[in-house]
Structure 1
Amino acid sequence: MRAAVRTTVIVVEDNPLHAQRYRENLARDPSLVLAGEFASAADAIQAAGALAPDVALIDLGLPDGSGFDVIRHIRQASPHTAIMVVSVFGGERNLFEAIEAGATGYLLKDSLPEDFNASIHALQAGESPISPALARLLLVRLRPGAAAPAPAPAPTAVPAPEAALSGDAAVPSPLSPRETTILEAIARGRSVLEIGESLHISPLTVKSHVQKIYRKLEATSRQHAVYLAHQRGILKL
């Protein structure tokens, strides 16, 4: 009999009460395995590469550094790891810096979904769970005429790939019409299954298109791809 697929998860959280809550949630799902728990940025950075978890849940406010640094390190050391910020810190600056750093999901601690484990499975399946308040913020920011997000002050922030494209000259889209359609659907919050059904293609085909979009835009996540496409004038949402 084939063994059930298990998803390894690490938690980077310095608040003992929140960490306990995550442990209790994970323990309710036998397919989720807590592979490591860290209360500091240094410990997480030291261990994450060797652990190479499927999913990393990361708080931004850590006692010895920034959760953004942990995200960047994991993105480089373990590219397959899906990263979700779980933090009390919302706001435009944190959201966009998390996306730039490589996060693929962002949940606020004060508005965590009832089925927290479902969000982890969705993240691992290629979805991008995001708290409703932040999703609205993202959509508002991507509307035509909206001002660009304020740059984060951290000197270690990775420069945005689109920085060289800030001029007025139009840049041809690197995406095919089908890829643009899929990215527009992603920007509207539609899932892989919903996109596949609307376009009459399989979920695997949708995921293949999404990976091509990532490569062409040099994006690290769905939100990052939407953000880059909007900055380059590819999306007009």
Structure 2
Amino acid sequence: MNININKLVIDMGKTQIKTALILEDIVEVNKWLQQRLLESFIGINIQQAYSIQEAKQLLIKQQYELALIDLSLPDGKGLEIIDWLAVHASETISIVVTIFEDDQYLFEAICHGAKGYLLKDLNEDIFQRYLQQIADGQYAFSPCMTQKLLSYVKANELSNQQKKQKLQSLNLTNREKQVFSYIAKGYQVTEIAYELDLSSYTVSDYVKSIYRKLNISSRAEAALLAQQYGLI
């Protein structure tokens, strides 16, 4: 994920955010976030929304450098606004501010384009420190969420290494591995031939060789084996 940030004004050695949107339906929390922004960035212009619809109306009228977004709103999910910003205002920094600590919400938010994930129980000073970190172009995640990300990356790297080792153990040529991956995805011989710029006869020969080497006899077996070896 790439963070695109406007050229920001420097004030007393710190990066300054001049405009921000808060999307939070709980009045007290919305005010709390407003206060954190006011204390972090002198002269900041803040707009507050309490629903998805209200946020959309504000976004149509103005662009913001920063958006603090709750995930659960009365009329929908905050992810909808993150998606909107990714398409229509990609320079806006979208930060999730939520009570949800689940991996599912974290990874979903990142996939939708969030540049940070902060929990609402953070200390005021720590929260403001994260705000400045965001303004300086860094990602911002609550400590427990950072640990989840690191654990995910580590597990994913281990899984990829294991799949790579398995793949290397396959008694297939590089071209056969290519054909094998297409077979497993459900491609027909003519389709594979088109994708690889080969004749159908050549692909048919590859298929026979692959089935013989792997001791399989159906596409279902090919799909299962390809998945195990990380080809799909």
Q: TM-score, normalised by structure 1?
A: 0.57
Structure 1 residues 123 and 69, CA gap change in structure 2 (3 angstroms)? same
User: Could you tell me how far 1:121 is from its partner in structure 2?
Assistant: 2.3
User: Could you say what the CA RMSD is over the residues aligned between the two structures, in angstroms?
Assistant: 2.8
Residues 18 and 41 in structure 2, CA contact (< 8 A), matched pair in contact too: no
Distance 1:30 1:144 in 2: 38
Secondary structure, counterpart of 2:125 in structure 1: coil
Alignment counterpart, residue 129 of structure 1, candidates 131, 140, 153: 140
Q: Does 1:38 align with 2:49?
A: yes
Runs of 5+ unmatched residues, structure 1 = 149-167, 171-232
Residues 49 and 74 in structure 1, CA contact (< 8 A), matched pair in contact too: no
Q: What amino acid does structure 2 have at the position aligned with 1:103?
A: A
1:10: which partner in 2? 21
Residues 85 and 98 in structure 1, CA contact (< 8 A), matched pair in contact too: yes
Larger radius of gyration: 2
Q: Does 1:63 align with 2:86?
A: no
Structure 1 residues 55 and 146, CA gap change in structure 2 (3 angstroms)? same
Secondary structure, counterpart of 1:138 in structure 2: helix
User: Could you tell me how far 1:122 is from its partner in structure 2?
Assistant: 1.5
Residues 26 and 34 in structure 1, CA contact (< 8 A), matched pair in contact too: no
Distance 1:30 1:133 in 2: 26
1:86: which partner in 2? 97
Aligned pairs for 1:87-106 within 5 A: 87-106=98-117
Kindly indicate which of the two structures has a greater share of residues assigned to helix.
2
Secondary structure, counterpart of 1:143 in structure 2: helix
Aligned pairs for 1:105-184 within 5 A: 105-112=116-123, 114-144=125-155
Structure 1 residues 147 and 100, CA gap change in structure 2 (3 angstroms)? farther
Residues 140 and 146 in structure 1, CA contact (< 8 A), matched pair in contact too: no
Q: What amino acid does structure 2 have at the position aligned with 1:78?
A: A
Q: Give the number of equivalent residue pairs.
A: 151
Q: Identity of aligned pairs, percent?
A: 28
